[in-house]
Every structure is written in C-alpha cells, then in structure tokens.
Amino acid sequence: MNYVQIPTGQGQTMKALYVAAADKNAPGLVLIQEIFGINGAMQKLAQYWAAQGFNVICPDLFWRQEPGLELNPTNQTQFALGVELMQNMQDSETLADLEATRSFLAKQIGHQNIAAQGYCMGGRLVVLMAAHSPIRCAISYYGVGLQDLLPTLPAKAAPTLLHIAELDHYVPSDVRKVIEANVAERAEWEVVLHEGCDHAFARPGGVHFVESAAQQANAQSLAFLQRFTA
C-alpha cells in the first residue's frame, strides 16, 4: 500500500492510494471514497479488494478543496465537513478526476481491463462514471441520489450492480421502486436489496456495519467484477 500522484491535466496532481495485486496483470479497480476521504475504512477496503485480485487505486476527490483529509464518520463536525465538501463538488470536475485516475491506472498495469466501485457518495459517482468512462463495469454500495441520476444516463452505460440497504433512510421504499424500475430496463444491470441493513452496512468498523451482509455483498460484487473483467 502506497500513495501516488496522478496528473490532472491542469498542471496539478491528485493524491491517490494505490494497492497492487500480487499479479501486476490483474484487472484494475478504481475505488471511490465516501464523504470522509481516504480514511481508515477506505484503506481497509483497498487492501481487501487487492487481496481479491485487483490492482486498486483510490483517488482523493477532495483535493480541490481540502486535500489529504481523513474524516471520522462518528465525529459530527467532521461529518458535516464531509457533507459540505461533497455539496461543493462539480460533477464535471470529479468525472475528469476519475477518468484521470482510470487512465493513470491503465498505464501502471499496462492494460484497459478496469472496473470501478464506490461507496455512498462514491456509490453515486461510480454510476455516473459508468455512463462517461470506458470502464468494464461499475458497482455501487448504497449510492445516494440515484433516483434522479439514473433517468439521465444513456442506455450504453457500463454494466452496473447496485447494493441497496433496506433500512437506508436515503433510499425509502418509493425511491427504491424508481431505481429498480430503471434498472429493470437496462441490460446487464442488477439491484440487490440487503434486508435488515442500514446505510453503510459494508463500511469496516462502521456504526451500521453488518459483517454477514458485507461478506454477502462483497461476494456478489466479486462475482460481478469477475464476470466483466475476466
């Protein structure tokens, strides 16, 4: 596990966590953060997915505002700062940063066999990336605002797996129905509902962490990733 600097094309660089797989020729995975930066949870997830056989890179998407932040979700002041930073982001700039990350990873591993996966804020951004980046597939863990985003995406968006928590107050049942109806019209898109789970159920060490559900979701994600990156 080490940190690299990704050129952004504006004469500046963006810090990213890079965790190589045992096999350099293994598929690549762009890992997209929650609102808390590349904190301990994202570091653990990067290491986990590298151990599953992926060259993982996780960019610091807050670099334009406050680079290098590692926020604690249980600290209300830090939580509020993460929300503020997210609200100040521009999708066009963030997509450019994510594409720069994908391109950087492709050069590092020598091929274009790359997928993307995101959590919470990243769960929305990865769906956006599926429509605008040449990734093989996308996986979203409890993405926010998908009911508004999905209708704007073209049919050609990359295959995507959505993990939704049954008790997630960001995705009540009426919102979930909108998401499920949209996904049903898309080829190679899937939704998995995790019953009895709340938002961020797969965040290592999180307040709502459910180990059994996280293991199930990760197994489903791994199968989906392998299907499109094998």
Distances (CA, A) of 213 to 78, 102, 218: 27, 29, 8
- Measured in degrees and rounded to the nearest 5, phi and psi for residue 2 equal -150, 170
Question: Strands 160-165, 28-32: parallel, antiparallel or unpaired by DSSP?
Answer: unpaired
Taking CA 41 as the corner, what is the angle to CA 124 and CA 165, rounded to the nearest 5 degrees? 45
Structure token digits, residue 218: 């990760």
Active site residue 132: no
Distances (CA, A) of 121 to 36, 81, 170, 208, 226: 9, 14, 12, 16, 24
DSSP 121-132: HHHHHHHHHHHH
**Catalytic hit among 163, 168, 194, 198:** 168
Query: 74-101 in b/e burial notation, b at 16+ Cβ within 10 A?
Result: eeeebeebbeebbeebeeeebbebbbbb
| Amino acid identity at 194 | H
Active site residue 194: no
pLDDT tens for the chain, 230 residues long, are 799 999 998 789 999 999 999 998 999 999 999 999 999 999 999 999 999 999 999 999 999 999 999 999 999 999 999 999 999 999 999 999 999 999 999 999 999 999 999 999 999 999 999 999 999 999 999 999 999 999 999 999 999 999 999 999 999 999 999 999 999 999 999 999 999 999 999 999 999 999 999 999 999 999 999 999 98
Residue 115 is predicted with a pLDDT of: 98
The domains found in the chain, sorted by start residue, are: 2-229 (3.40.50.1820)
Tell me the C-alpha distance between 153 and 37, whole Å. 26
Contact 100, 9 (CB under 8 A): yes
Q: Per the confidence metrics, is the pTM higher than 0.95? A: yes
CB burial of residue 25 (10 Å; 0-12, 13-18, 19+) = exposed
Residue 64 is predicted with a pLDDT of: 95
Structure token digits, residue 46: 């990067």
